Amino acid sequence: MNAIHYLFISLNTVKQFNKVKSVLIVLTLSLLLASCKSSPEQSAAAPPPPSLPVSAISASTETTYIEYPASIQGAVDIDVRPQVSGYLQSVLVNEGAYVSAGQTLFKINDNPYREALNNAKASLHAAEAAILNAQLEVDKLTPLVQNKVVSDFQLKTAKTAYKIAQANAEQARASVASAKINLGYTNVKATVSGYIGRIPKKQGSLVSPTDQIALTQLSDIHEVHVYFSLAENDFNNFNANYPGKSPADRIKHLPAVELLLSDNSAYPIKGKIDMIDGQFDKNTGAITLRASFPNANGVLRSGNTGKVRLGLQHNDAILVPQSSTVEMQDKVFVFTVGDSSKVKKQAINIVGKAGENYLVKDGVKVGDQIVLSGVDKLQEGMVIAPQKATDKVALAKTKN
């Protein structure tokens, strides 16, 4: 009995031991499997650093351009107005026609002025006759006074009457000249050669020198004046960048300027700045400059608009391609390549543009290596595989 009981207990102990052993084996295998497995980061091979083009920053002499809105006027823009009143008898030109200086444009009815001239001539003739009459009186009294037949007072009175007659004749001559001038004003002539504008008043209209609306406008556009304005800061930079002790001296050294038309096409002939206003406009805080452009072919007309392009030369300018920059929070950055091919985000100070490049004042220097493209995916401290780019190809796009 004891032997059987002991055997039963031994069998139960063996079963429990086997169960524990099985559990231990399972746990051991699980640990082994877990230890054999690696994390995704460890199992996957680390990606290679991105291969990006880099180039050394260079410097060269470049010209930047600033554009200013401009208005165009003819060398002479005048209102054609009548100088005498009357009915418009004839309109002798067409709107938009080219006329020569001295050509008659309008004819005002001259009958009243012709009669006024005739009346003035008649008055002149009467005054000249009065002179003769006064002269006869002086000639008659002179010997009588010498012979003491009449008193000297009568001769003096006759001489005074003669002088009055001469004065009346001078006045009559002036009236004749004035009447001739008024008669001439009935022919309204072009004072300069140029193009005729709109003609609002037609034949038969009553015209007067006091009319608010002119008969037409006349523009001499063989040369045009282009007016543009500079703000105070721009004007200070203008004075600092161009040599000269005075505005007149500075104008002599200014380079030629370009004119961009309303469709952004460039006018083929360059102009010259020839006037700087004497004072700033109190309302706008800007000062006006004038550039003159030849216009022999008549392409430009008064009232055209456009832009004046001023060029400024920069010596030893640092060039950075726009494609190598990224803008963040109103600042522009480039990625420079340092030791171990690590990139660093560097802020730059831009002073202008030349083609597809930025002109940089500070932030980088000549010889620094920068990443040319793919900068939007870079982060501070990343390692890249630099790929040398041809500097002249990357940075010479401004020449195109």
Specify the pLDDT at position 170: 95
Within a domain: 148:
yes
- CATH number for position 252: 2.40.30.170
Specify the pLDDT at position 11: 44
Kindly report, residue by residue over 349-390, the tens digit of the pLDDT.
887 777 788 888 888 888 888 888 888 888 888 888 888 875
Q: Which two tokens stand for residue 242?
A: 């161009």
Q: What's the per-residue H, E or C state across 179-216?
A: HHHHHHHCEEECCCCEEECCCCCCCCCEECCCCCCCCE
User: What CA–CA distance (Å, rounded) separates 92 from 188?
Assistant: 10
Within a domain: 295:
yes
Q: Residue 161's pLDDT band (boundaries 50, 70, 90)?
A: very high
Q: Residue 179's pLDDT band (boundaries 50, 70, 90)?
A: very high
User: What CA–CA distance (Å, rounded) separates 112 from 82?
Assistant: 15
In which residue are the tokens 């400024």 written? 312
Q: Return the closest-CA partner of residue 312 out of 270, 354, 358.
A: 354
Q: What's the per-residue H, E or C state across 312-338?
A: EEEEEEEEEEHHHCEEECCEEEEEEEC
- Tally of domains in the chain: 3
Q: Do 298 and 332 share a domain, yes or no?
A: no
Torsion of CA 59, 63, 68, 70, to 10 degrees: -170
Specify the pLDDT at position 34: 53
In which residue are the tokens 């039963």 written? 8
Specify the pLDDT at position 244: 76
Residue 143 φ/ψ, nearest 5 degrees: -70, -30
Q: Do 331 and 364 share a domain, yes or no?
A: yes
- CATH number for position 135: 2.40.50.100
Specify the pLDDT at position 48: 81
Does 229 score more than 50 pLDDT?
yes
Q: Do 382 and 307 share a domain, yes or no?
A: no
CB of 128 closer than 8 Å to CB of 122: no
Q: Do 89 and 181 share a domain, yes or no?
A: yes
Collect all residues with Cβ–Cβ distance below 8 Å to 377 and sequence separation of at least 6: 50
Domain that holds residue 96: 77-207
- CATH number for position 388: 2.40.420.20
